[in-house]
Structure 1
Amino acid sequence: MPHPESTPASPVDAGHIVELERALARVAYLLTRVRRHEQALTQCGVQMDRASVPLMRLLADSPEPLRLGELATRLDVEAPHVSRQIQRLERAGYIERVPDPADRRAQRVSPTVEGRRAVDAVRDVLRGWMREALSDWTSEDLKALAVLNHRMVDAFLDHAEVTGDDGATARDRPRR
């Protein structure tokens, strides 16, 4: 869906799409490197495996506790994977189970105070690295990059909803 402040080029330039895909692959690689993850956790003093970080971020950003099935859907992973992660995070003191007010047989999970501290510490380290790496960028460039990235992710999610290959829905994410 085009934004009023811009009009999309028509048709989409295949060369630009190729370059965008390459750039996104490079970003994904940089963000998921095991060594970088271990450095971040060491720097902030948090003991957490790499797969738990997105789950903890999702829980920390949620205004209410979530069911395990909802977590699996939003993370686009299998429910047993989430169950194992939740057990590890619970043992580590990062999350707690709470009763589901809509169904007394079910439970939801939310981060503990320590879990929120851990997420904040990881985010602080990663944001510090970004600040350092992008220190010579202008505020206007950083704002434009953030706006365009949010717009791109929203477009990807809108397309995924149409094609049915994503668990997130429009209500799951803020519009930018």
Structure 2
Amino acid sequence: MSEMGNSADGESAVSRVLPRLMQLGTVLNRSQVTERAMDRVGIPLDRPAITVLVTLRVAGQPLRVGEIAARMQVVGPHVTRHLHELERRGLVRRVTDPHDKRARLIELTSDGGAAAGRYLETVVGWFTGALADWPDEDRQTFGRLLTRFVDDLTAHLGAVDDEPAP
């Protein structure tokens, strides 16, 4: 038996949470969190471009194009298009992979790292402020459960996407 009990109990619990998830999506869209944070970056970037920079910043190391794409859950050509523009603007650069001299990695320049840092600082600040009055144990539990939920939902929906059409 699952942690939620039987299937009917699990469906009931999800049914009660679903409106809150929809409300969260609405709040994030209406408040334009991403757009407002991108404005604070100080460099005009679109959402995919800032996502590339943040992906590299969070990784803390240069990555191959395919790994950036996998972390963003998009295809490689989508990332490549944005990398050309980011490279032209001096926010990323291509470097030789020290483990495979034939391969290239993408790394942040100091300007790209600073832009990603300003974006993350803004978003993390807003979320930290929203959780400021929560006890530390609640913040840790929330983080653990949210991570688990997103990972499990991503895996489940990926499996659904891979199913043949009826």
- TM-score, L = length of structure 1: 0.72
Give the CA RMSD over aligned residues. Answer: 2.9
Query: Are residues 73 and 156 of structure 1, via their aligned partners in 2, closer, same or farther at CA, if it must alter by over 3 Å?
Result: same
Secondary structure in structure 1 of the residue aligned to 2:134 = coil
Rounded to whole Å, the distance in 2 between the matches of 1:87 and 1:107 is 14
The residue that corresponds to 2:77 in the other structure is: 80
Match of 2:150 among 114, 138, 153: 153
AA partner of residue 108 (structure 2): P
**For structure 2, which runs of at least 5 residues remain unmatched after alignment?**
none
Q: Which residue of 2 aligns with 1:38?
A: 35
CA distance in 2, matches of 1:93, 1:33: 32
Shift of 1:102: 4.2
| Higher helix proportion | 2
Tell me the distance in 1 between the aligned counterparts of 2:149 and 2:82. 29
Matched, 1:9 2:4: yes
Instruction: State which of 86, 90, 93 in structure 2 corresponds to 1:96.
Output: 93
Structure 1 segments unaligned to the other structure (5+ residues)? 167-176
- Deviation of the 1:124 alpha carbon: 1.1
Q: Distance in 2 between matches of 1:34 and 1:132?
A: 15
Inter-CA distance 165–111: structure 2 relative to 1 (3 Å threshold): farther
Q: How many pairs were matched up?
A: 160
Whole-angstrom distance in 2 between the partners of 1:62 and 1:123 = 13
Output the TM-score relative to the length of structure 2.
Answer: 0.76
Q: How far apart, in 2, do the equivalents of 1:151 and 1:69 lie?
A: 24
Q: Distance in 2 between matches of 1:116 and 1:127?
A: 16
Identity of aligned residues (%): 31
